[in-house]
Amino acid sequence: MKAFTKHKGVAAPMDRANVDTDLIIPKQFLKSIKRSGFGPNLFDELRYLDEGQPGQDHSKRPLNPDFPLNHPRYQGASVLLARKNFGCGSSREHAPWALDDHGFRAIIAPSFADIFFNNCFKNGLLPIVVAEEVVDQLFAEMYAEEGYALVVDLEEQVVVKPNGETIAFEVDAFRKHCLLHGLDDIGLTLEDADDIRAYEAKRREQAPWLFDAVK
């Protein structure tokens, strides 16, 4: 996994509550057996005026001129400002894959859905929870100033605004550690292989039926 330490990037809006993972990446693109290449289909139904299909040349499709991510001022944006309950619905990890592939490194919202939130950390994408009033303020400032860029400093756990003001945020110690160092958590868990084997042996005695294979 790629590491996340400190990142500066232009902020872009996804200004609606309860954005579900179907909206982030529609079902027809989940047929891919790869982890990459989902970027052109991020928010596909909002971004384009037609229905997208896998394998198409998406650069030739008609863009929706009303969708902010299509506006010149948000090109190259890498920090997404979002609303409550971002990433609800399906557990598809294709959602963070699409956000990452499009170039987003951090998402700031008042709340996230549990599974999506967790999936982000596995992909070097940092979801940041801040109070709703603070998010409102960030949206207002971003709309007012073209090129509005934020610095996200994971080590210090702060978002730094263009005027130098800082917003502190919380992050789990373990997730922070993994992100800062780009660690593979499977490798870390396997360091505890002896504990897993010991648990398994004990459990096999207490509840042997759990170890009967399905054939």
Partner 1 sequence: MGHPQNKKQTLYDKLWQDHLVKSREDGTALIYIDRHLIHEVTSPQAFEGLRLAGRKPWRTDSVVATPDHNVPSHAEERAGGIEGIVDEVSRIQVKTLNENCEDFGIVEFGINDPGQGIVHVIGPETGATLPGMTVVCGDSHTSTHGALGALAHGIGTSEVEHVMATQCLIQKKMKNMLVRVDGELGPGVTAKDVVLAIIGKIGTAGGTGYAIEFGGSAIRSMSMEGRMTVCNMAIEAGARAGMVAVDDITLEYVKGKPYAPKGEMWELAVANWSRLHSDDGAHFDAVVELNAEDIEPQVSWGTSPEMVVPVSALVPSPADESDATKKAGIERALEYMGLEAGQKITDIQLDRVFIGSCTNSRIEDLRAAAAVAKGHKKAESVKQVLVVPGSQSVKAQAEKEGLDKVFIEAGFEWREPSCSMCLAMNADKLGAGEHCASTSNRNFEGRQGYGGRTHLVSPSMAAAAAIAGHFVDVREMQEVA
Q: Which residues bind partner 1 (CB under 8 A)?
A: 16-18, 20, 22-23, 26-28, 30-35, 45, 51, 54-55, 83-85, 88-93, 96, 111, 113-115, 118-119, 122-123, 172-174, 177, 184-186, 189-190, 192-193, 195-196, 199-200, 203, 206-215
- Provide the minimum distance between the beta carbon of 121 and partner 1 in the complex, in angstroms, as a whole number: 9
CB nearer to partner 1: give 168 or 173. 173
CB nearer to partner 1: give 32 or 70. 32
- Provide the minimum distance between the beta carbon of 205 and partner 1 in the complex, in angstroms, as a whole number: 11
Number of DSSP helices (H) and strands (E) in the chain, helices first: 8, 7
- Provide the minimum distance between the beta carbon of 197 and partner 1 in the complex, in angstroms, as a whole number: 10
CB nearer to partner 1: give 72 or 193. 193
Cα dihedral 183/189/192/197 (nearest 10):
-160
Q: Is 20 exposed, middle or buried (0-12, 13-18, 19+ CB in 10 A)?
A: middle
CB nearer to partner 1: give 45 or 160. 45
Question: Among the residues of 25-181, which ranges form H helices?
Answer: 44-47, 94-102, 114-121, 132-144, 173-181
Q: What DSSP state is assigned to residue 203?
A: H
CB nearer to partner 1: give 145 or 172. 172
166/133 Cα distance (integer angstroms): 14
Structure-block tokens of residue 156? 């210090």
- Provide the minimum distance between the beta carbon of 105 and partner 1 in the complex, in angstroms, as a whole number: 17
- Provide the minimum distance between the beta carbon of 131 and partner 1 in the complex, in angstroms, as a whole number: 14
Q: What DSSP state is assigned to residue 13?
A: E
